[in-house]
């Protein structure tokens, strides 16, 4: 199955890491600048066909800002659920898994993947149903992270969480009503951070399978943050604590 990837960062990331996926690249006719020339050099090195295309045609190919570049590529596949225990075991005490429960907006998923990659996350886990997948929009927003970080879709999230707990992971769920704040929670060691959808939050079974619940202290009038913003805060608090422990 093929898909259309668009945007300079997203297409260049695939060319750099998984060039074999790309079947053809369409670039804006008459555009010649440094960023595009770098991408074209990668395409030439990988032997990928490049076709100059009018801007109007590119606009019809995808919905969103394509930045003058659209690639036809084999669809990016999620990693296997069976890989989870081994990934956690390989990461040891440094295992850090991000679980997104019910995040359906591909923009939010892409932003979460980007933060997860920057924080050195072991894997990102989502349920197969009621969740955004690795769409072209998610890949564009992720700016290359979708190609580097294990992304795993699971059939039964609660059951998969138990499997990960058996592999040594402790789960901390973010919940606004939790008595303990994120900054009071120990995030060292093998940990899974569980983020719910905006508004509805964590589902009941997901919440029940968390070992601890923590909240972000909110001083203003808003009651919650965008899930990708909250995810970035949580991941880098874990990075901060682990860095202090290593000193």
Residue 216, annotated as binding a ligand: yes
Phi/psi for 143 (5° steps) reads 55, 45
Q: What is the pLDDT of residue 177?
A: 86
pTM, full prediction: 0.82
Q: How far is CA 114 from CA 137, 149, 210, in A?
A: 13, 9, 24
Q: What is the pLDDT of residue 56?
A: 92
For 18-61, the pLDDT digits (tens) are 888 899 999 999 888 888 899 999 999 999 999 999 999 999 99
Q: What is the pLDDT of residue 107?
A: 94
Say whether pLDDT at 1 is over 90: no
Sign of torsion over alpha carbons 27, 31, 36, 42: positive
Residue 196, annotated as binding a ligand: yes
For 169-228, the pLDDT digits (tens) are 999 999 988 999 999 999 999 999 999 987 778 999 999 999 999 999 987 777 678 999
Confidence of residue 247 (pLDDT cuts 50, 70, 90): low
Distance (Å, whole) CA 203 – CA 90: 29
Q: What is the pLDDT of residue 246?
A: 61
Residue 243, annotated as binding a ligand: no
> For 211, what's the count of Cα atoms within 13 Å in the CB-facing half-sphere?
17
For 73-87, the pLDDT digits (tens) are 888 777 889 999 999
Residue 95, number of CB atoms within 10 A of its CB:
22
Distance (Å, whole) CA 18 – CA 35: 19
pLDDT, average across residues 120-126: 97
């Amino acid at each position: 199955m093929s898909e259309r990837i668009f945007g300079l960062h997203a297409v260049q990331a695939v060319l750099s890491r998984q060039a074999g996926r790309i079947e053809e690249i369409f670039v804006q006719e008459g555009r010649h600048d440094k960023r595009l020339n770098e991408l074209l050099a990668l395409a030439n090195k990988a032997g990928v066909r490049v076709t100059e295309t009018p801007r109007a045609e590119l606009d019809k190919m995808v919905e969103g800002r394509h930045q003058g570049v659209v690639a036809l590529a084999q669809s990016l596949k999620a990693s296997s659920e069976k890989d989870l225990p081994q990934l956690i075991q390989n990461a040891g005490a440094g295992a850090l898994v991000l679980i997104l429960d019910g995040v359906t907006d591909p923009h939010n998923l892409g932003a979460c993947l980007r933060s997860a990659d920057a924080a050195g996350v072991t894997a990102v886990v989502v349920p197969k149903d009621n969740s955004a997948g690795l769409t072209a929009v998610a890949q564009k927003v992720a700016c290359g992270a979708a190609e580097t970080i294990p992304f795993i879709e699971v059939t039964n999230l609660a059951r998969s969480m138990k499997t990960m707990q058996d592999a040594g992971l402790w789960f901390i769920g973010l919940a606004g009503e939790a008595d303990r704040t994120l900054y009071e929670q120990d995030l060292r060691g093998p940990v899974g951070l569980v983020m719910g959808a905006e508004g509805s939050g964590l589902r009941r079974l997901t919440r029940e399978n968390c070992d601890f619940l923590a909240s972000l202290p909110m001083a203003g009038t808003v009651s919650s943050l965008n899930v990708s913003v909250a995810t970035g805060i949580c991941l880098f608090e874990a990075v901060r604590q682990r860095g202090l422990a290593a000193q």
